[in-house]
Amino acid sequence: LYHVLGAKQFGRDELERLFESSHEMEGVVARGGDRRHQGKIMTSLFFEASTRTRLSFESAMHRLGGNVIGTENASQFSSAIKGETLEDTIRIISGYSDVIVMRHTEIGAAKRAAAVANVPVLNAGDGAGEHPTQALLDGYTIRKEFGKIDGLKIAMVGDLAYGRTVHSLSYILANYQDVMIYYISPDNVKIPANVKKYMDEKGIRYQETTDLDSVAGTIDVLYQTRIQKERFPSIEEYEKASGLYIVDGELLSRMRKDAIVLHPLPRAGEISEEIDNDPRAAYFRQAVNGVYIRMALLDKALSESK
């Protein structure tokens, strides 16, 4: 079965094939979709809130001719609320559908699900762990915007501890040559040691700092993130980290003319709406790319897991 559980599973060759497939999916969407997975069913099982991931996966499945079942708030409206284990829920859903897309509150939940599933499991975010399909669409966006990933300077800014997208994006970028990563965060939400250890093992250059201003003029990509209020142990810890990095017109004026600003979204004040119409503000283009990447992933999972 072709599961997508974490971003470390992707090597460069597979990434290039996936990006090529995503590019082809842009053409499929432009032609109004096709029926290649007619009769197939995707379960959308989200124990945490989502707009982009759930709806772009659902859109992707419809574009491929398939059907979608699921629950918007699985914590409340699935039998998890009656005490059913995640494993039993997955065993049951495996009999109802051909692929499961799951977001859960706990790190490692997707791996637990895959261990008992009879169909592919695609991790749509596991707590503060990983968000591999987001990182794939981020990588696809960077490649589309610059025509390459090798050699780029990328600043990841904000909540690097609880923000799962930056963990997965680091693992994707570790496949490329001569990238330089700046991890820019408040002291209480630094990039975790396990991510740094992986980057060290892969020989990727990175620098940790609290100072966005010192690199703003040199970077190619500013990857801004939301401070994940819901994951902090206390409101005091959250307040120490919030409001420190805001991308606004003044900051953008000090960035390169060919740089881009990305954000997995949703934003909560850390990107000013005043920059939305600047061509360097690429976060809405980035969100659209989620449909193409997820079409490519669903196509691969459904084709390889027959």
Interface positions, 9-68, toward ligand CP (CB under 6 A): 50-53
Q: Is 149 in the site for ligand CP (CB under 6 A)?
A: no
How far, in Å, CA of 183 to CA of 212, rounded? 9
Question: Tokens 């409101």 map to which residue?
Answer: 235
- Residue 57 vs 180, nearer CB to ligand CP: 57
Sheet holding 205-209, edge to edge: 205-209, 180-184, 153-157, 221-224, 260-262
- Least Å distance, CB 171 to ligand CP, is 16
Residue 300 marked as a ligand binder: no
- Residue 131 vs 143, nearer CB to ligand CP: 131
The reply to whether 240 belongs to the active site is no
Are 90 and 121 within 8 A, CB to CB? yes
Nearest by Cα to 271 from 210, 279, 262, 303 = 262
Query: For residue 225, what are its two tokens?
Result: 């993130």
- 3, 37, 40, 53: the active-site residue: 53
- Least Å distance, CB 75 to ligand CP, is 15
The reply to whether 143 belongs to the active site is no
Please give the size of the binding site for ligand CP, defined by CB under 6 A. 10
Interface positions, 193-222, toward ligand CP (CB under 6 A): none
Question: In a 10 Å sphere around its CB, with 0-12 CB exposed, 13-18 middle and 19+ buried, how is residue 234 labelled?
Answer: exposed
The reply to whether 62 belongs to the active site is no
Mask of contacts with ligand CP, 264-303, x by CB under 6 A? xxx-------------------------------------
How far, in Å, CA of 10 to CA of 33, rounded? 27
Q: Is 185 in the site for ligand CP (CB under 6 A)?
A: no
- Residue 22 vs 53, nearer CB to ligand CP: 53
The reply to whether 53 belongs to the active site is yes
- 37, 54, 131, 143: the active-site residue: 131
How far, in Å, CA of 205 to CA of 201, rounded? 11
The reply to whether 104 belongs to the active site is no
Q: Is 6 in the site for ligand CP (CB under 6 A)?
A: no
Chain residues that interact with ligand CP, rule: CB under 6 A: 50-53, 125, 131, 134, 264-266
Q: Which residues are annotated as a binding site?
A: 52-53, 82, 103, 131, 134, 164, 226, 265-266
**Catalytic residue IDs:** 52-53, 82, 103, 131
